[in-house]
A and B are shown apart, each in its own frame.
Chain A
Amino acid sequence: MSTTATAVRRTGARKAGRRATRGTSGIGTTGWVAIVLLGLVVCGALLAPLLSPQGPNAVDLSGAYQGSSGAHLLGTDASGRDLLSRLFHGSRTALIGPFLVVAVSTLLGTVLALAAVWFGGWFDQLVVRVVDAVFAFPGLLLAILATALFGSGLPAAVVALSVAYVPYIARIVRSAALRERNLPYIAALQVQGVHGLRIALGHILPNVGGLIVANATLAFGFALMDLAGLSFIGLGVQPPTSDWGAMVGTGMAGVLQQHPQEALFASALIVITVGAVNMLGDRLTERWEARS
């Protein structure tokens, strides 16, 4: 009995492995371009202290709104701070927030969805109702409410968005896992007496994994835009810490004085990063759809 089960599991794993190798080549050129772009952005964030020519908060009031020069490759902001250094350091806050949001909401959403599918019945219905109720609360609004209570800053916003994004992941994973659960191989495993937890984690999860990764990627883009928006309106990352969204906000003063560099450079980095993330997410989704 147990040998058959292992054999079944092994072939399953091998099939999944083959699928995965075929799949990676399936994200196409755009997918690879996106990965390279994101790699560059992440490297910039990780190596920010090494790459930055100046400290991100080194103020030089006599050198405000300088253009591009040898000392300041991208010029300076209203306080004479080096824009390039601030953009490098700003990428850290801009990326770490969405990363945490996606990590927490994906984990919670997946666990909820798998539990709902596995136990079914009233528990499933309860999860569906709760998820729907949370879905009715726009994420940005929940984040604003949280900053009203716990004070402006990244932590409150990240916690609120993590909660707000759970339904998005949970709904998609639940419907895919539900299809998977009704397939004959699950019944076969059950008949063989394989533990439910093992089926859920060892069989259902790997088979919907591609979908989870694709949607976590897309959620990263949304979270980056939401958090940058919060920092932009002054409720997220607080000065003097540099952040892309906050830089667009402080750059507004420069925009009106014909010095739009700060706002435009930070905007461009946000758009490039979110664009790359979306491109990758789209390719991963297509790959998942082609697979199933």
Chain B
Amino acid sequence: MSDAIMSAPVPSGQAQAKVKRRPGGAMARFVAVRVAGLVATLFIASLVVFGALYAAPGSPLTYLTHGRTMSPEAVAEIKAEYHLDDSIWQQYLRWLGDVVHGDFGTSIIYNQPVSTLVGGRASVTTLLVLMAAAIVLVLGLAIGTMAGLRPGWFSRSAMAAATGVMAVPTFVGAVVLIVVFAVQLEWFPVFGAGGSGLDAVYHMVLPSLALALASVAFVARLAQTAVRAELSADHVQTAISRGLPRRTVVRRHVMRNAAMPVLTVAGLTVAGLIAGSVVVEQVFQLGGLGQFLVSSVQQKDFPVVQAICLVYVAAFIVLNTLIDIAYTLLDPRVSIGKKDS
């Protein structure tokens, strides 16, 4: 949950740098560097996820046999299937090659291909994260903008509420929502992902709200601060004193300048929802990837744990990179070519 909030970029003064003309070559190079960075990070993530099996106490064989004593033939069979007699690098390269082709091995518990098991559960998680993302962007930006434009009791109470909500962990929000809206008022179901179509959306209302809550507060605070800062900027004050209608000033000067940085951090927040969804799925027993990950951890079904971790990390990194590229390409104030570190 915290990752989104933590990944707010450290201000570096780079945003102020003004570059009037940006040559196409530099832009292409920038995108290429970012994509290369993406691939490198994915590669490191795969090393971590694969190497974890060897960092664990006990040999990988103990994990694969689940600590059970087996006949020498069965052990030999497992060793052959997982190529445990090869060097670690050979095993890694073979595993990586399979993963690139969408083959994550076989689940130890279910004895089925991991890709089938994971693929069947991905849609629930996707719907959950998408709905939460929509709530974060719509509610967070609306509340924050309104609070920023209208200082006074609304702004103050909204910001106080946002600070309070940011102290509510996802699972606590989920439990409170269940107590109020599912158990007491009985408006929404307590558990389960429901059927398809609208029923699935209906079942996902409370879970997505729980997942979105803290991020809504964070984005609202962020948007409020940005709008406030723009309102007191010199060029806005000048426009107001020149007698331009307030609506024009707000639309053309305040919103346009405040939008990009806020949207960027909001995007990163949405990427952070991916990790938070694990907890929410557990509370509402949604049967998506997150719940599968937790049960696989408890059953030590290692191929499944590896696959889901990798999918989550990949989704997180790809989203982050896309937002980063979009931000740099769309905002003419950001100079490219200069290193951001």
Contact = CB atoms under 8 A, between A and B. Distances in A.
Interface of A: 125, 128, 132-133, 135-141, 144-145, 147-150, 152, 168, 171-172, 175, 221-223, 225-226, 228-229, 232-235, 245, 248-249, 251-252, 255-256, 258, 260, 263-264, 267, 270-272, 274-275, 277-279, 282
A147 to B, nearest CB: 6
A248 B171 contact: yes
B7 A135 contact: yes
B10 A172 contact: yes
A168 B167 contact: no
Given A222-B2, A274-B169, A275-B164, A141 B275 contact: yes
B297 A147 contact: yes
Nearest to B302: A148
Interface in B292-340: 293-294, 296-298, 300, 302, 305, 309, 312-313, 316-317, 320
Best-buried of A128, A145, A226, A235 by chain B (most CB within 10 Å): A145
Contacts of B163: 275, 278-279, 282
Interface stretch (B45-53, B110-118, B232-240, B243-251): B45-53
Interface of A is mostly: helix
Contact of B1 (A140, A233, A282): A140
A148 B300 contact: yes
B28 interface: no
B283 interface: yes
Best-buried of B41, B44, B169, B190 by chain A (most CB within 10 Å): B169
Contact of B45 (A137, A249, A271): A137
A144 B293 contact: yes
A264 B1 CA distance: 20
Nearest to A276: B167
6 contacts: A136-B41, A138-B3, A139-B275, A148-B305, A229-B279, A271-B172
B166 interface: yes
B167 A275 contact: yes
Nearest to B54: A149
Contacts of B109: none
CB-based closest 6 A-B pairs:
A222-B2, A275-B167, A138-B275, A149-B56, A225-B169, A274-B167
B196 interface: no
Contact of B167 (A138, A260, A264, A271): A271
Contacts of A148: 52, 296-297, 300, 302, 305
A216 to B, nearest CB: 13
Best-buried of B3, B178, B305 by chain A (most CB within 10 Å): B3
Interface of B: 1-3, 5-7, 10-12, 40-41, 44-45, 48-49, 52-53, 55-57, 163-164, 166-172, 175-176, 178-179, 183, 190, 272, 274-276, 278-279, 282-283, 293-294, 296-298, 300, 302, 305, 309, 312-313, 316-317, 320, 341
B5 A222 contact: yes
Contacts of B168: 271, 274
Given A137-B48, A138-B274, A147-B297, A263 B10 contact: no
Contact of B6 (A133, A168, A277): A168
A263 B175 contact: yes
Contacts of B167: 221, 271-272, 274-275, 277-278
B183 A136 contact: no
Interface of B is mostly: helix
A148 B172 CA distance: 24
Best-buried of B40, B170, B275, B305 by chain A (most CB within 10 Å): B275
Given A255-B179, A264-B179, A222 B56 contact: no
Contacts of B11: 175
Contacts of B49: 145
A172 B48 CA distance: 25
A270 B172 contact: yes
A133 B41 contact: yes
Contacts of A282: 163
A133 B42 CA distance: 9
A145 B183 contact: no
A255 B169 contact: no
Contacts of B300: 148
Given A140-B1, A144-B294, A252-B175, A258 B316 contact: no
Contacts of A234: 294, 298
Contact of B278 (A125, A140, A152, A255): A140
A136 B169 contact: no
Contact of B276 (A128, A140, A279): A140
Given A136-B320, A282-B163, A152 B172 contact: no
Nearest to B167: A275
Nearest to B179: A260
B341 A140 contact: no
A248 B10 contact: no
A280 to B, nearest CB: 11
Nearest to A167: B6
Nearest to B63: A149
Contact of A228 (B6, B169, B298): B169
A141 B309 contact: yes
B121 to A, nearest CB: 16
B75 to A, nearest CB: 21
Contacts of A149: 52-53, 55-57
Contacts of A132: 41
B34 to A, nearest CB: 12
Nearest to A128: B341
Contacts of B40: 133
